[in-house]
Amino acid sequence: MQGLFFEDLTEGQSAETLKIVGAADVEAFAAVSGDINPVHLDEAYARTTPFQGRIAHGMLSAAYISAVIGTKLPGPGAIYLSQSLRFRRPVKLGDPVVTRVTIQSLDERRGHATLATICQVDGKTVVEGEAVIMVPRKPA
């Protein structure tokens, strides 16, 4: 399976996904990552925080960005080089997270693409950043 090649990309091109964050997603992420902070897993504890309930791991939203890059734009074959992230708001259980990546610039010499990355809930930004990825070229 191969995604888009570097030659197929244009500035402004974008792709997005929608994911409803469920308790099972948060619990699975905690198990895989080892981040068992009770704000993510214990409703009674989380009610005592400023969030008034459980919230998803910020890095779970970041994983949604990785999924868009790895499956849609440019898709299979893309390799992450860097990702900056700014966490703006919490994501609560049941929130619909729309994740979008948009190509900002292309480095022809290196075969790298720089992408604006954003996750939003109800039109409000929860995570934003920038990714640099290596994109395969078309075979000669």
Which residues partner with 107 through β-bridges?
112
Pick from 113, 77, 119, 121: which is nearest to 96 by CA? 121
Question: Percent of the chain having pLDDT more than 70?
Answer: 100
Pick from 119, 9, 19: which is nearest to 65 by CA? 119
Pick from 132, 133, 125, 66: which is nearest to 98 by CA? 125
Residue 67: what pLDDT? 97
Determine the residue type at 75.
G
Q: Is the pLDDT at 140 greater than 90, yes or no? A: no
Looking at 44-137, which runs of residues are DSSP E strands?
79-87, 96-107, 112-121, 124-134
pTM of the model: 0.94
Tens digits of residue pLDDT in 31-61:
999 999 999 999 999 999 999 999 999 999 9
CA distance 98 to 19: 7
Q: How confident is the model at residue 1 (pLDDT cuts 50, 70, 90)?
A: confident
